[in-house]
Chain A
Amino acid sequence: DAKTTQPTSMDCAEGRAANLPCNHSTISGNEYVYWYRQIHSQGPQYIIHGLKNNETNEMASLIITEDRKSSTLILPHATLRDTAVYYCIVRVAWSGAGSYQLTFGKGTKLSVIP
């Protein structure tokens, strides 16, 4: 699976958009970009994933550059409850039995400031 690079930490004012970048310059054509987050003392939570088109769900938007070498997770109106570690993970689509393995890095610690 391709390696990802994320900033160690970021701050965002409450109510503003939080834009979390991720670099995955060695991504292959069949690899997806996944985002998970982990709020303190809880298990990771799935946010969103995409291949090459921009994706949006009730939690966030995922913007993937045309060359797919980087992406940005956008939380449109950050709240204090969005304070967490955000993990960007790249991996191939899963087609075998069971499910894929997640390879977590250290992620980005997002602090939402009142």
Chain B
Amino acid sequence: ETGVTQSPTHLIKTRGQQVTLRCSSQSGHNTVSWYQQALGQGPQFIFQYYREEENGRGNFPPRFSGLQFPNYSSELNVNALELDDSALYLCASTDTGYEQYFGPGTRLTVT
């Protein structure tokens, strides 16, 4: 158990819709990162938030956005969903900077 939770576990959306995924980090973890994992691939870095500010972004379009809140929770929002957005979405939090703690992920299916 990493102490990082994500909701929902599974989600089915239609192309063009918008989705919000949620992550709850351990208390004191001021950094949260989001990753997308397509089937059979390793996770790909989407972006990171540090103390409620975006602190780095991978090669993902602006329709992927996020928020981090003072209570160590965070959100990943995806607008205008595409079929290729179907994936496992993972959040990871840390306080030390070297060990990141991953949640179990949200499985998103876009039809």
> Is A46 touching B50 in the complex (CB atoms < 8 A)?
no
> Is A49 touching B42 in the complex (CB atoms < 8 A)?
no
Chain B residues with Cβ below 8 Å from A85 are 42
- The docked-state distance in angstroms from the alpha carbon of A19 to that of B30 is 35
- Among A43, A98, A99, A100, which residue has its beta carbon within 8 angstroms of that of B103? A43
> How far, in Å, is A42 (CB) from chain B's closest CB?
6
Chain A: interface secondary structure? loop
Question: Do A98 and B50 form a contact, CB below 8 Å, given A42-B104, A49-B98?
Answer: yes
Chain A 72-114 near chain B by CB (<8 Å), digits 1 or 0: 0000000000000101000000100111111111110000000
> Is A97 touching B50 in the complex (CB atoms < 8 A)?
yes
- On A, residues with C-beta under 8 Å from B are 41-46, 49, 85, 87, 94, 97-107
- Among B4, B31, B41, B100, which residue has its beta carbon within 8 angstroms of that of A102? B100
Interface with A: B14-22, B70-78, B79-87, B89-97, which one?
B89-97
The interface size bin for chain B is 20 to 34
> Is A43 touching B2 in the complex (CB atoms < 8 A)?
yes
Q: Which of B33, B43, B51, B104 counts the most A-chain CB atoms under 10 A from its CB?
A: B43
> Is B42 touching A99 in the complex (CB atoms < 8 A)?
no
User: B93: nearest residue on chain A (CB-CB)?
Assistant: A99
| A/B interface sample: 29 pairs, CB < 8 A | A42-B104, A42-B105, A43-B2, A43-B103, A43-B104, A43-B105, A45-B2, A45-B102, A46-B100, A49-B98, A94-B97, A97-B55, A98-B48, A98-B49, A98-B50, A98-B55, A98-B97, A99-B48, A99-B97, A99-B98, A100-B97, A102-B33, A102-B35, A102-B45, A104-B35, A104-B43, A106-B40, A106-B42, A107-B42
